[in-house]
Amino acid sequence: MQNIFIKVDEKEYGPVTLDEFKTLVREGSVSKDDLVLCENSDEWMSAAQIEGLKRFFPTNGKNGGHQCKLYAVASGKGGVGKTVLTCSIGVAFSSMGSDVIIVDGDFGGANLHTCMGILEPEYTFFDFYSLQKDNLSQIVLDTPIENLRIISGACGTLGIANQKYFQKQRLIRELKRLPADAVFLDLGAGSTYNTIDFFLLADEKILVVTPEPTSIYEAFGFLKVCVMRELNRALKNFPEALEIVASDEINKPGKTCLTLGDLLQQVKKINEEAFNVFKNVLENFSPKLILNMVKNKEDLKEGRAIQAAVMELLSIHLEYLGYISYDHEVGVAVKNVKPFLLNNPKSQASKDLSALIRVNLLGKKGIKEILEKYRWRKQVENYAKEFPERADFLQDAPICSTNCFYWGDCEYEDGGKPCRVRHLEPRLKEAN
């Protein structure tokens, strides 16, 4: 669609191209109710009514029109696949027609942009926190996929890594107000207060676990810390109940003698109101589990085993979304700086992820859905064909350092980043 005319506050503008129109919407200069006239039409209509333009005005957020659904992706242990999954889940949702923003919430090791083939993000969270950009939509960047955008993380910025609770609430509020249908927040590993609070404040909480004991223990520990933090906050007006929660064996590291169900019963004996608050916390906390890097049938059992243990010990319903096979194609995609769903849509990991999202995350079943599946697959394949190759990304490039032979003469000198002097082989100075 070309030659779009716009009427804002009785003034006419245009013609603009579709791309220019999109930019105006994103800047907030055009709203869904502004009138638009397109070629092939002799009638001014509100922008959101026009086929081909309405996708720029997402409306189906769960929380009533202006809010999008916020998904947080976390794990106890690091390196279990949160970032690669966040990228590919984002691609999957956008290929089904949703407007998606993926957000790098790993304030210690931001790398989500690299997985999307963006090597040097123009803006990051740093611009937001250093007040150079005053709202989040100003740091949203385009990706090679039209309805998938990204907020890139700011690596190693201490102030961001230690936010106050009200700052986190504000950030979550802003994330939910972004102009999108769904926002996916890729969190850092571990049980820092940042990660826990962002996870707890999200609408949908996804926990990624691999079928290894370390990953499973740490995931269980993460959930336990999450639920304890919720309980401490919710029960702050019930000191006797808090005492029961705080003093019990369940708080001892690596040891869970009493279950949360036992504690709940103890609280019931002393205070009915506190009992109801406690029960609500347990009922309302319903994270979802993805088992990643599954190698065999034995591994597969771990999904249900974790679910059962969490129910027994923490009285929490952990919904098992399904598994992704261990697939070397995921590593290949990382090297090609592409989401694995696009690097090879036919790989086992891509197939597993597609099934998991359609059937378990979105609950799509039945004949109509099967037909839709083929359209969706086609769209993913089209995206895959169009996704740019980043031949300029040097996987084995040395890291730029003051020890480089050319330090002092080089025009880049971005210490810590991959060397960008592609035609030279930087040599390290001999240590003297």
16 binds, among Mg ion, ligand ATP, none (CB under 5 to 8 A by kind): none
Identify the H or E element spanning 19: helix 18-27
Nearer to Mg ion, 83 or 194 (CB): 83
Structure tokens, 183: 């926002």
Contacts of 7 (CB under 8 A, 6+ apart): 13, 34, 35, 36, 37, 44
Binding interface with Mg ion (CB under 5 A): 82-83
Shortest distance in whole angstroms from residue 238 CB to Mg ion: 38
Q: In whole angstroms, give the CA distance from residue 163 to residue 196.
A: 12
88 binds, among ligand ATP, Mg ion, none (CB under 5 to 8 A by kind): none
Nearer to ligand ATP, 314 or 334 (CB): 334
Nearer to ligand ATP, 306 or 330 (CB): 330
326 binds, among ligand ATP, Mg ion, none (CB under 5 to 8 A by kind): ligand ATP
Nearer to ligand ATP, 79 or 261 (CB): 79
Shortest distance in whole angstroms from residue 108 CB to ligand ATP: 8
Nearer to ligand ATP, 96 or 353 (CB): 353
Q: Which residues pair with 225 in a beta bridge?
A: none
Neighbours of 146 (CB within 10 A): 14
Q: In whole angstroms, give the CA distance from residue 102 to residue 185.
A: 6
Give the burial string for 29-43 (b: 16+ CB within 10 Å, else e): ebebebbbbbeeeee
99 binds, among Mg ion, ligand ATP, none (CB under 5 to 8 A by kind): none
Q: What is the dihedral of CA 248, 249, 250, 254, to 10 degrees?
A: 150
Neighbours of 318 (CB within 10 A): 24
**CB-based contact 341:302 (threshold 8 Å):** no
72 binds, among ligand ATP, Mg ion, none (CB under 5 to 8 A by kind): none
114 binds, among ligand ATP, Mg ion, none (CB under 5 to 8 A by kind): none
Shortest distance in whole angstroms from residue 326 CB to ligand ATP: 4
Q: In whole angstroms, give the CA distance from residue 305 to residue 418.
A: 42
Angle between helix 348-355 and 367-386 (nearest 10): 140
Shortest distance in whole angstroms from residue 348 CB to ligand ATP: 9
Contacts of 117 (CB under 8 A, 6+ apart): 143, 144, 337, 338, 387, 388, 390, 393
Shortest distance in whole angstroms from residue 85 CB to ligand ATP: 7
358 binds, among ligand ATP, Mg ion, none (CB under 5 to 8 A by kind): none
Shortest distance in whole angstroms from residue 349 CB to Mg ion: 16
330 binds, among ligand ATP, Mg ion, none (CB under 5 to 8 A by kind): ligand ATP
Identify the H or E element spanning 244: helix 239-247
Shortest distance in whole angstroms from residue 240 CB to Mg ion: 41
Nearer to ligand ATP, 94 or 210 (CB): 210
Neighbours of 3 (CB within 10 A): 13
Shortest distance in whole angstroms from residue 26 CB to ligand ATP: 28
Which position's Cβ is nearest Mg ion? 83
292 binds, among ligand ATP, Mg ion, none (CB under 5 to 8 A by kind): ligand ATP
102 binds, among ligand ATP, Mg ion, none (CB under 5 to 8 A by kind): none
Nearer to ligand ATP, 71 or 326 (CB): 326
**CB-based contact 189:105 (threshold 8 Å):** no
Q: Residue 422 gets which letter from DSSP?
A: T
Binding interface with ligand ATP (CB under 6 A): 75, 78-84, 106, 109, 189, 292-293, 324, 326-327, 330-331, 334, 349
The radius of gyration of the chain's CA atoms, rounded to the nearest angstrom, is 24
Nearer to ligand ATP, 82 or 176 (CB): 82
Q: In whole angstroms, give the CA distance from residue 111 to residue 109.
A: 6
DSSP string covering 313-362, please? Answer: HH----EEEEEEE--HHHHHHHHTTS-HHHH-TTSHHHHHHHHIIIIIIS
Contacts of 329 (CB under 8 A, 6+ apart): 340, 343, 344, 347, 348, 349, 350
Nearer to Mg ion, 219 or 314 (CB): 219
Shortest distance in whole angstroms from residue 299 CB to ligand ATP: 11
Nearer to ligand ATP, 100 or 349 (CB): 349
Shortest distance in whole angstroms from residue 190 CB to Mg ion: 11
